[in-house]
Amino acid sequence: MKILVINAGSSSLKYQLIDMENETLLAKGLCERIGIDGHLKHSPLVGGKPVFNEDLPMPTHAEAIAAVIDKLTSAEYGVVASMKEIDAVGHRVVHGGEKFACSVKIDDAVMAALDECTPFAPLHNPANITGINACKAVMGDVPMVAVFDTAFHQTMPSKAYMYAVPYEYYENDGVRRYGFHGTSHRYVSSRCAELMGKPIEELKIISCHLGNGSSLAAIKNGKCVDTSMGFTPLVGLPMGTRCGDLDPGVMQYLMAKYDMDIDKMLNILNKKSGVQGISGISSDFRDLEKGATEGNERAKLALEMFSYWVAKVAGSYAAAMNGVDAIIFTAGVGENGPDTRKAVLDYLAFLGIEVDAAANAKRGEDIMISTADSKVKAFVIPTNEELVIARDTAEIVG
Ligand code: ADP
């Protein structure tokens, strides 16, 4: 069975074609500047075919999908003979609200429910819906599945997901913690259990997805019991450009002082804050590490704040689960930042974690970075959200 995985943004669309027989990645690519002019980078990964990397007109997502199908099936760049070989499509959808606790086959009722979730993710869900509609227009009745960023977190108990605001805002308006990066937390936690050779139902795991956007999840017996992102992905840890946790009073103070409206304030908190805002240099940890080495105090502070927050939230999750067996690092910073990992794990040494310095310095697949006799194990596990989407799609359609 061959599954096309689609991650549609407002002006971009990422895709992978995966052969589920042996979970081989056949091709991957990215459409950019959809609705502006259009560019496609298509990389076939089997059959020695060349990469296609050129501007192509893409007035809407439908032209983008058509261009992707054209390349996937072309003689020069293709990896399948025709569209008929694509058995199903799995779509990443950001917000499933409380309606979706797992992946679902897309039908009219699901599309209507996705629309209802749009107010919770006004920037992301419309793009995901556009991607689904574009696929339907181009691919006809090929079965499609929606896989939600929020679904894995639906197992959180109410004491973890409720905000302490008047209860009516939850009942009437759905105001609560939803959490994001669920597909990634799910993948790395199940891989961690495999690596430990133990059933996930017997493990307490803290998963640290540290990328441009960052979140932690506490996963007890295979179920998420808490996570650091909230109603939106703005809260929790300080991130690349997002502020993380912030006293709402700061917003009122700054908005009044600088005569800002809420959109301007939120733009600053989403795009100009986090380690970028603190350092004044960059949101990229490579730049911050270089800056800190060269003596830039604000770059150093940004890095210190980041690892302090990861450790502080991880410590609270050890309390929430009454213990922890393993800590996982994943995503851009988690997979590539040994100094950040070391700083986080040094804070958590009191839990009984001993870092294996040589293992922590390595890059690559699925590495245990704690010593063999460390009480709590630590791992680097590269995330693979697309594979989870493809697996769910194959299971639901198959
Ligand atoms: P996204 O949240 O956009 O998916 P990623 O998970 O790809 O982000 O993470 C991107 C971030 O990973 C970059 O901003 C950068 O800070 C960090 N990163 C990537 N490579 C390295 C590296 N070699 N060392 C430290 N940080 C890195």
Confidence at 57, pLDDT banded by 50, 70, 90: very high
Quote the pLDDT of residue 363: 83
Nearest CA to ligand 1 atom 23: 336
DSSP 50: P
Residue 106 scores a pLDDT above 90: yes
Torsion angle, alpha carbons of 265, 266, 272, 275, to 10:
120
Residues labelled catalytic: 149
Cα 178 → chain centroid: 14
Answer yes or no: are the C-beta atoms of 196 and 325 closer than 8 Å. yes
Confidence at 364, pLDDT banded by 50, 70, 90: confident
Report the C-alpha gap between 210 and 240 in whole angstroms. 9
Give me the sign of the Cα torsion angle 117, 121, 122, 125: negative
Give the mutation target among 336, 339, 341, 384 for probing the ligand 1 site: most ligand atoms within 8 A of CB. Answer: 336
β-bridge partners, 256: none
Give me the sign of the Cα torsion angle 130, 135, 138, 141: negative
Q: pLDDT tens digit string along 283-317?
A: 999 999 999 999 999 999 999 999 999 999 999 99
Is 363's C-beta closer than 6 angstroms to any atom of ligand 1? Answer: no
Report the C-alpha gap between 75 and 70 in whole angstroms. 10
Report the C-alpha gap between 219 and 217 in whole angstroms. 6
Residue 34 scores a pLDDT above 90: yes
Residue 38 scores a pLDDT above 90: yes
Question: 199-380: same fold as 2-148?
Answer: yes
Nearest CA to ligand 1 atom 14: 284
Give the mutation target among 276, 285, 342, 360 for probing the ligand 1 site: most ligand atoms within 8 A of CB. Answer: 285
DSSP 126: H
Residue 12 scores a pLDDT above 80: yes
Question: Closest ligand 1 atom, CA of 288?
Answer: 16
Backbone phi, psi, residue 169, to 5° = -65, -25
Report the C-alpha gap between 273 and 212 in whole angstroms. 12
How much is the mean pLDDT over the chain? 97
Domain assignments of the chain as residue spans, ordered by start:
2-148, 199-380
Is 127's C-beta closer than 6 angstroms to any atom of ligand 1? Answer: no
β-bridge partners, 169: none
Give the mutation target among 212, 237, 362, 380 for probing the ligand 1 site: most ligand atoms within 8 A of CB. Answer: 212
Quote the pLDDT of residue 373: 95
> Minimal CA–CA distance to 225: which of 330, 317, 329, 94?
317
Quote the pLDDT of residue 303: 98
Confidence at 272, pLDDT banded by 50, 70, 90: very high
**Rounded to whole angstroms, what are the CA distances from 381 to 20, 237, 296, 304?**
21, 20, 31, 23
Structure tokens belonging to residue 327: 């800590």
* Alpha carbons within 13 A on the beta-carbon side of 275: 30
> Minimal CA–CA distance to 110: which of 141, 61, 148?
148
Is 274's C-beta closer than 6 angstroms to any atom of ligand 1? Answer: no
Is 287's C-beta closer than 6 angstroms to any atom of ligand 1? Answer: no
CATH of domain 199-380: 3.30.420.40
Quote the pLDDT of residue 346: 97
* Alpha carbons within 13 A on the beta-carbon side of 214: 32
Question: Closest ligand 1 atom, CA of 331?
Answer: 6
Question: Closest ligand 1 atom, CA of 285?
Answer: 16
Number of neighbours of residue 232 by Cβ within 10 angstroms: 17
Quote the pLDDT of residue 333: 97
Answer yes or no: are the C-beta atoms of 145 and 90 closer than 8 Å. yes
Which residues lie below 8 Å from residue 9, measured CB to CB, with a gap of 6+? 124, 127
Structure tokens belonging to residue 72: 């996937």
Report the C-alpha gap between 151 and 129 in whole angstroms. 17
Residue 132 scores a pLDDT above 80: yes
Q: pLDDT tens digit string along 367-397?
A: 999 999 999 999 999 999 999 999 999 999 9
Nearest CA to ligand 1 atom 22: 336
Report the C-alpha gap between 209 and 252 in whole angstroms. 31
Report the C-alpha gap between 2 and 341 in whole angstroms. 37
CATH topology of domain 2-148: Nucleotidyltransferase; domain 5 (3.30.420)
Side chain identity, residue 246: L
DSSP 154: G
Cα 38 → chain centroid: 25
Is 188's C-beta closer than 6 angstroms to any atom of ligand 1? Answer: no
Q: pLDDT tens digit string along 309-357?
A: 999 999 999 999 999 999 999 999 999 999 999 999 999 999 999 999 9
- State the distance from the centre of ligand 1 to the C-alpha of 395, rounded, in angstroms: 31
Quote the pLDDT of residue 365: 83
Residue 123 scores a pLDDT above 90: no
- DSSP letter for each residue of 72-114: HH-TTT-SSSSGGG--EEEEEES--TTT-SS-EE--HHHHHHH
Is 284's C-beta closer than 6 angstroms to any atom of ligand 1? Answer: yes
